[in-house]
């Protein structure tokens, strides 16, 4: 290598080579930051500044009447208190957690089962796994309308199916019925989430050496024991990451529910992101909307911090 | 024998999971009278494209598709340019605080989009960006840029620094080295990032919903959302609009599937 460089430098003259190298060394640090500047300036303006601005708004009296006035009154924590004192607020928080934990339970279990299935060697396993990804690429509003149609009270396919099996006598308007609406939107989200979980668990499963399973089989371990004592412990870090990401992405859900039910009927599917959005854009209580945003961010940043502690620094640097 | 069983079981499961798409498609080509029947008609005997011509003519689906394309294509271009610069910078140079930069990207990728709608709405209304494509384009760039930088960086890391240095010593200008060596070697990553940014921006909902109030500016996602109320029970029209909206998605998916899978797994995803 050294010899090659010498030969090359001879071709272009020693001076040029030395100068070039010196320039590279000197400017390296400065030049590095120059490359980052456009993207990070953009993010500061479009993410950093709005987040701070939102925090400020949450302490001000901002309604449609005061929105465009230059000075808004500082009202301390009043917005937060009003958001939490709203009689529907406990319902919203409860919905958020039922939705998130319920979805994660089903999508993780089913997704894990599918990842195990597709990890076996058989023709088309990879193709099937790949096909599932299409559900993640489709606009969520399309998923919303398809499931709205499937769950429709009049001639919806799910009703027709359940009536055909004699499980129902009469169609249920799943999304219009306060008792069933949350389950309805969860069904649509679980459908998307299954692919998400399968996709993320599959590489972890594939990375487990088959020789471990072979050795265990020779030692007389059945399928359940192999899963319990090999797959689960080795997959643990991946599982933690998938569950935490699942929580973050599910808890912040907006579009899917908003397009299916708008948070209704009677707040049956109202979750924290929807409530925050509606406070601002349906009720024009921008200050309260900002306060609800801060609460949502607080919950998510806590979970994100836990998630980051699992994604070790090393992993982050190397990837 | 065992393998054949596994393949058939998987085929049934995948068919069940993808069934909602079939139902969308078959509803969209039914005669209106066949849509609302009990028992439901699973396979239509006299398909028609009338729902498609209705949404294309009466509900100007073509215009909404064009809007979606303008938004997604512009967002993709800006994101990739910014992302290539930053991804290269983060991979090539020994920067102080590298870990902090990466952490910032990881966190911003996970932030809830809804929380940024309100402050951006007020900021954009001040600078007169509302009801312009640029507002939604910038929001999409903001949403996907951290993700794109994070998936591009590993591709730049894989290019040996010596290769670039050798080219420069050979008298290659820096711009030439970038265009002739670095970009081509990182191309699989750039394609992945571009496809995902395009598809995610194509499906974006909340920013378009809030920033674009005029019908002639709205992308397909919002047109479909508005149609839920308008069409009432006309599910064949709604399903035709949905089918039209996912045609580009399916085409891109068919041609670039391997890039998509890799990008989603490496970049850590989106739901």
Q: Tell me, what CATH number does A266's domain have?
A: 1.10.3720.10
Our CA-based measurement puts residue A45 at a distance from the nearest CA of chain B, in whole angstroms, of: 9
Q: Are B245 and A122 inside 8 Å of each other by CB? A: no
pLDDT in tens, B237-255: 999 999 999 999 999 988 8
pLDDT above 60: residue B180? yes
| Chain centroid to CA A20 | 46
Q: How confident is the model at residue A130 (pLDDT cuts 50, 70, 90)?
A: confident
pLDDT of residue A9: 39
A74 beta partners: A60
Contact B73, B133 (CB under 8 A): no
Q: Give whole-number Cα distances, A223 to A109, A220, A231, B40, in Å.
A: 17, 10, 10, 42
Nearest C-alpha neighbor of A146 from the set B139, B133, B17, B128: B17
Kindly state whether residue A51 falls inside one of the protein's structural domains.
yes
Kindly state whether residue A82 falls inside one of the protein's structural domains.
yes
* CB < 8 Å from A in window 64-123 of B: 82-83, 85-86, 88-90, 92-96, 98-99, 101-104, 106-108, 110-123
Name the residue facing A192 among B149, B252, B271 (closest C-beta).
B271
Q: Domain of A274?
A: 78-318
Kindly state whether residue A162 falls inside one of the protein's structural domains.
yes
Q: Are A114 and B13 inside 8 Å of each other by CB? A: yes
Q: Are A124 and B10 inside 8 Å of each other by CB? A: yes
A238 beta partners: none
Scanning every residue of chain A, which has its alpha carbon at the shortest distance from the alpha carbon of B122? A67
pLDDT of residue B268: 54
Q: Give whole-number Cα distances, B249 to A280, B195, B222, B243, B246, in Å.
A: 32, 10, 17, 10, 5
B46-60 burial string, b = 16+ CB within 10 Å, else e? eeeeebbebbbeebe
What is residue A74's three-state secondary structure? Answer: strand
∠ at Cα B151 (A197, A129), nearest 5°?
30
H-run or E-run covering A9: helix A2-12
∠ at Cα A41 (A39, A47), nearest 5°?
90
For residue B193, count other CB atoms closer than 10 A to its CB.
29
Q: Say yes or no: A38 and A172 in one domain.
A: no
- Expressed in angstroms, the distance from the first to the final Cα of chain A is 28
Torsion angle (degrees, nearest 10) of CA B184, B185, B189, B191? 20
pLDDT of residue B231: 53
Kindly state whether residue A9 falls inside one of the protein's structural domains.
no
| Chain centroid to CA B88 | 23
A60 beta partners: A74
Nearest C-alpha neighbor of B79 from the set B147, B171, B2: B147
Q: Are B23 and A149 inside 8 Å of each other by CB? A: yes
Between helices A181-206 and A140-150, what is the axis angle to 10°? 130
Contacts A5 to B, Cβ<8 Å:
169
What is residue B163's three-state secondary structure? Answer: helix
Contact A198, A129 (CB under 8 A): yes
Q: Are B18 and A134 inside 8 Å of each other by CB? A: yes
Kindly state whether residue A251 falls inside one of the protein's structural domains.
yes
Q: Say yes or no: A41 and A124 in one domain.
A: no
Q: Say yes or no: A217 and A86 in one domain.
A: yes
Percent of chain A with pLDDT over 70: 88
pLDDT in tens, A257-298: 999 999 989 999 999 999 999 999 999 999 999 999 999 999
Q: Cβ of A276 under 8 Å from any chain B Cβ?
A: yes
Name the residue facing A50 among B102, B120, B162 (closest C-beta).
B120
pLDDT above 80: residue B228? yes
Contact B59, B223 (CB under 8 A): yes
pLDDT in tens, B27-75: 999 988 888 888 888 888 889 999 999 999 888 999 999 999 999 999 9
Q: Are B92 and A157 inside 8 Å of each other by CB? A: no
Summary count for chain A: helices (H), strands (E): 17, 0
Name the residue facing A146 among B121, B169, B242 (closest C-beta).
B242
Kindly state whether residue A69 falls inside one of the protein's structural domains.
no
Our CA-based measurement puts residue A19 at a distance from the nearest CA of chain B, in whole angstroms, of: 10
For residue A224, count other CB atoms closer than 10 A to its CB.
8
Q: Longest Cα pair distance anywhere in chain B, in angstroms?
A: 76
User: Under the phi-then-psi rule, with left for phi > 0, alpha for psi from -120 to 50, and beta for the rest, what region is A76?
Assistant: left
Q: Cβ of B13 under 8 Å from any chain A Cβ?
A: yes
Question: How many distinct structural domains can be found in chain A?
Answer: 2
Q: Say yes or no: A220 and A189 in one domain.
A: yes
Task: Round to whole Å and give the CA distance between A44 and A58.
Answer: 20
What is residue A242's three-state secondary structure? Answer: helix
Task: List Cβ neighbours of A283 (8 Å cut-off, separation of 6 or more).
Answer: none
Q: Say yes or no: A255 and A185 in one domain.
A: yes
Task: List Cβ neighbours of A43 (8 Å cut-off, separation of 6 or more).
Answer: B104, B108, B142, B145, B146
Contacts B252 to A, Cβ<8 Å:
137
Our CA-based measurement puts residue B244 at a distance from the nearest CA of chain A, in whole angstroms, of: 10
Q: Are B117 and A114 inside 8 Å of each other by CB? A: no
Task: Round to whole Å and give the CA distance between A223 and A235.
Answer: 16
Kindly state whether residue A131 falls inside one of the protein's structural domains.
yes
Domains of chain B, each with CATH number or no CATH: 1-48 (no CATH), 52-267 (1.10.3720.10)
| Chain centroid to CA B194 | 9
Q: Say yes or no: A248 and A314 in one domain.
A: yes
Q: Say yes or no: A51 and A21 in one domain.
A: yes
Q: Cβ of B229 under 8 Å from any chain A Cβ?
A: no
Q: Give whole-number Cα distances, A306 to A121, A247, B107, B180, in Å.
A: 35, 11, 12, 42
**Torsion over CA: B4, B5, B6, B8 (sign):** positive
pLDDT of residue B267: 58
∠ at Cα A40 (A35, A46), nearest 5°?
150
Which of A57, A87, A107 is the last residue in one of the domains? Answer: A57
Task: Round to whole Å and give the CA distance between A42 and B110.
Answer: 17
ipTM value for the complex:
0.92
Q: Say yes or no: A110 and A231 in one domain.
A: yes
Task: List Cβ neighbours of A93 (8 Å cut-off, separation of 6 or more).
Answer: A272
pLDDT of residue A131: 87
Q: Are B271 and A249 inside 8 Å of each other by CB? A: yes
Q: Are B10 and A150 inside 8 Å of each other by CB? A: no
pLDDT of residue A128: 87
Contact B84, B190 (CB under 8 A): yes
pLDDT above 50: residue A61? yes
Scanning every residue of chain B, which has its alpha carbon at the shortest distance from the alpha carbon of A277? B114
For residues B93 and B239, the model is more confident at B239
Q: Is A214 exposed, middle or buried (0-12, 13-18, 19+ CB in 10 A)?
A: exposed
pLDDT in tens, B137-161: 999 999 999 999 999 998 999 888 8
Q: Say yes or no: A114 and A38 in one domain.
A: no
* CB < 8 Å from A in window 188-227 of B: 199, 202-206, 209-210, 220-222, 224-225
pTM: 0.89
Q: Say yes or no: A169 and A29 in one domain.
A: no
Q: Are B264 and A154 inside 8 Å of each other by CB? A: no
Q: Say yes or no: A133 and A179 in one domain.
A: yes
What is residue A194's three-state secondary structure? Answer: helix
Q: How confident is the model at residue B112 (pLDDT cuts 50, 70, 90)?
A: very high
Q: Say yes or no: A225 and A91 in one domain.
A: yes
For residue A198, count other CB atoms closer than 10 A to its CB.
28
Lowest-confidence segment of A27-36, A117-126, A161-170, B9-18 by average pLDDT: A27-36
Kindly state whether residue A10 falls inside one of the protein's structural domains.
no
Scanning every residue of chain A, which has its alpha carbon at the shortest distance from the alpha carbon of B156? A319
Task: List Cβ neighbours of A61 (8 Å cut-off, separation of 6 or more).
Answer: A72, A73, A74, A75, A78, A287
């Amino acid at each position: 290598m050294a010899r090659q460089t010498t030969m090359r430098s001879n071709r272009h003259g020693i001076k040029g080579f030395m100068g070039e190298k010196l320039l590279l060394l000197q400017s390296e640090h400065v030049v590095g930051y120059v490359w980052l500047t456009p993207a990070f300036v953009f993010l500061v303006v479009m993410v950093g500044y709005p987040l701070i601005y939102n925090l400020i708004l949450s302490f001000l009296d901002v309604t449609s009447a005061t929105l465009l006035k230059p000075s808004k009154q500082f009202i301390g924590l009043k917005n937060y208190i009003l958001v939490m004192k709203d009689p529907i607020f406990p319902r919203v928080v409860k919905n958020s957690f039922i939705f998130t934990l319920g979805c994660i339970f089903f999508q993780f279990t089913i997704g894990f089962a599918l990842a195990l299935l597709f990890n076996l060697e058989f023709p088309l396993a990879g193709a099937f796994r790949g096909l599932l990804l299409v559900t993640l690429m489709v606009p969520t509003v399309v998923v919303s309308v398809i499931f709205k149609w499937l769950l429709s009270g009049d001639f919806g396919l799910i009703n027709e199916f359940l009536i055909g099996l004699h499980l129902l006598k009469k169609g249920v308007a799943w999304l219009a019925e306060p008792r069933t609406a949350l389950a309805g939107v969860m069904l649509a989200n679980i459908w998307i989430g299954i692919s998400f979980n399968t996709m993320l668990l599959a590489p972890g499963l594939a990375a487990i050496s088959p020789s471990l399973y072979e050795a265990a089989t020779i030692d007389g371990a059945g399928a359940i024991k192999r899963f319990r004592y090999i797959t689960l412990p080795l997959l643990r870090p991946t599982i933690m990451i998938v569950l935490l990401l699942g929580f973050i992405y599910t808890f912040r859900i907006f579009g899917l529910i908003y397009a299916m039910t708008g948070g209704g009927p009677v707040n049956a599917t109202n979750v924290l992101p929807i409530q925050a959005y509606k406070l601002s854009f349906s009720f024009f209580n921008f200050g309260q909307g900002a306060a609800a945003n801060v609460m949502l961010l607080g919950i998510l940043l806590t979970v994100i911090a836990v998630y980051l502690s699992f994604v070790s620094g090393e992993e982050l640097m190397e990837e | 024998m065992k393998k054949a069983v596994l393949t058939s079981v998987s085929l049934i499961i995948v068919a069940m999971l993808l069934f909602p798409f079939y139902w969308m498609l078959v509803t969209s080509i039914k005669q209106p009278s066949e849509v609302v029947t009990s028992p439901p008609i699973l396979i239509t005997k006299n398909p028609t494209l009338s729902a498609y011509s209705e949404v294309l003519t009466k509900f100007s689906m073509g215009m909404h598709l064009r809007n979606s394309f303008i938004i997604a294509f512009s967002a993709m271009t800006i994101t990739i340019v910014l992302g290539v610069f930053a991804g290269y910078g983060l991979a090539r140079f020994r920067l102080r605080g590298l870990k902090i930069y990466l952490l910032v990207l990881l966190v911003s990728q996970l932030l809830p989009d809804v929380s940024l709608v309100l402050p951006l709405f007020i900021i954009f209304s001040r600078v007169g960006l509302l009801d312009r494509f640029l507002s939604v384009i910038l929001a999409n760039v903001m949403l996907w840029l951290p993700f794109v930088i994070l998936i591009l960086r590993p591709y730049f890391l894989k290019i040996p620094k010596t290769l670039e240095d050798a080219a420069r010593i050979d008298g290659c200008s820096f711009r030439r080295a970038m265009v002739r060596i670095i970009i081509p070697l990182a191309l699989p990553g750039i394609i992945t990032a571009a496809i995902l940014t395009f598809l995610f921006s194509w499906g974006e909902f909340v920013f378009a919903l809030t920033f674009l109030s005029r019908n002639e500016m709205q992308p397909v996602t919002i047109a479909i959302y508005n149609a839920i109320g308008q069409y009432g029970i006309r599910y064949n029209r709604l399903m035709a609009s949905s089918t039209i909206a996912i045609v580009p998605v399916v085409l891109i998916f068919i041609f670039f599937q391997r890039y998509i899978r890799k990008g989603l797994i490496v970049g850590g995803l989106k739901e």
